Amino acid sequence: MALRDNHPEPLQLAYIMAAFFAGSTLLHCAACTINDICDRDFDAQVERCKNRPLVSGAVSMFGAWVFLFLQVAVFFWALSYVPMNAFLCGSFGVFPLHAFYPLMKRVTNWPQAWLGLAMNWGLPTAWLIAAPNDYQYPPVWALTFGTLCWTIVYDTIYACQDRKDDVKAGVNSTAVLFGDYVKPILSMFAAMFVATLAYAGYATGQGWVYYTVSVGGCAAHLLWQLVTLDTEDPQDCWNKFDANGYLGYVVLAGQLGGWYIH
């Protein structure tokens, strides 16, 4: 969306997308590392997580901290090449957003909301990098809110795998908070995500390909997830959570198709 009116060459667009993919993957890996460091005592009480490297002793705490430091150092090295406003925005995504996420499940029933903000803070950062002279606040922040809602959907589904163990261990989550109303509540968050996609498309002048593939495809995918979801079946919860990775490609495909036609 940020590049729609800039008309980059295909190779330039591919380079930009590859750079964003590498940066977001690196930050995600660092976030997983600090999460495992902070949650090792909780993980020992959860059947699905008790064999993770820090819990089992396969990796030492010292090794984990060194690994985290290296990941963060490389991320900030890469971030140092972007404009200062994007650097500051991206830095805020690292600290406090990602850094404090592991603590949220200890103090609030809404850690998924904080995770949504942390996970999707790359969106306003990326827009500052890709189109610093065309920063469109309404669609940027609408999409940030919408993807936050999406994160609540898929991470609540993920958390449903461990609800029984989480209750015993004292882990807070929206999966525990929503109880028997997980599916109807997540349906509302899913609807808000689809609505923000539609609004952002309108605000940035997207065409029929975007609305058909990105918005329509997203709505159909989320509808399938929530209609067929069995919150009492951990394997089904994992499958639905994992399917959200493909949903991201659906949204991307509509944007790329619209860019190509435009």
Residue 258 pLDDT: 83
Considering the domain boundaries, does residue 44 fall inside one?
Answer: yes
- When divided into structural domains, the chain yields a total of 1
Residue 111 and residue 101 in contact, taking contact as beta carbons nearer than 8 Å: yes
* pLDDT score, position 55: 93
Whether residue 5 is contained in a domain is answered as no
Q: Do residues 253 and 214 make contact, with C-beta atoms less than 8 angstroms apart?
A: yes
Residue 4 in any domain: the answer is no
Tell me which residue range forms the domain holding 140.
10-261
Give the separation between CA 10 and CA 256, rounded to whole angstroms: 10
3 assigned to some structural domain: no
Residue 75 belongs to a domain: yes
- Can you give the pLDDT of all 262 residues of the chain as single tens digits? 655 666 667 788 888 889 999 999 999 999 999 999 999 999 899 888 989 999 999 999 999 999 999 999 999 999 999 999 999 999 999 999 999 999 999 999 999 999 999 999 999 999 999 887 777 889 999 999 999 999 999 999 999 999 999 898 899 999 999 999 999 999 999 999 999 999 999 999 999 999 999 999 999 999 999 999 999 999 999 999 999 999 999 999 999 898 778 6
Residues 201, 12, 145: CA angle, nearest 5 degrees = 30
Is 2 contained in some domain?
Answer: no
pLDDT of residue 14: 86
Length of the chain equals: 262
Please state the three-class secondary structure of the chain as a single string: CCCCCCCCCHHHHHHHHHHHHHHHHHHHHHHHHHHHHHCHHHHCCCCCCCCCHHHHCCCCHHHHHHHHHHHHHHHHHHHCCCCHHHHHHHHHHHHHHHHHHHHHHHHCCCHHHHHHHHHHCHHHHHHHHHCCCCCCHHHHHHHHHHHHHHHHHHHHHHHHHHHHHHHHHCCCCHHHHHHHHHHHHHHHHHHHHHHHHHHHHHHCCCCHHHHHHHHHHHHHHHHHHHHHCCCCCHHHHHHHHHHHHHHHHHHHHHHHHHHHHC
Q: What is the pTM of this model?
A: 0.93
Residue 1 lies inside a defined structural domain of this protein: no
* Residue 1, pLDDT score: 62
**What is the structure's pLDDT at 180?**
94
113 is a domain residue = yes
Burial class, 121, CB count within 10 angstroms (exposed 0-12 / middle 13-18 / buried 19+): buried
Please give the pLDDT value at position 2. 56
Q: What is the pLDDT of residue 141?
A: 94
State residue 10's pLDDT score. 78
Q: What is the pLDDT of residue 5?
A: 61
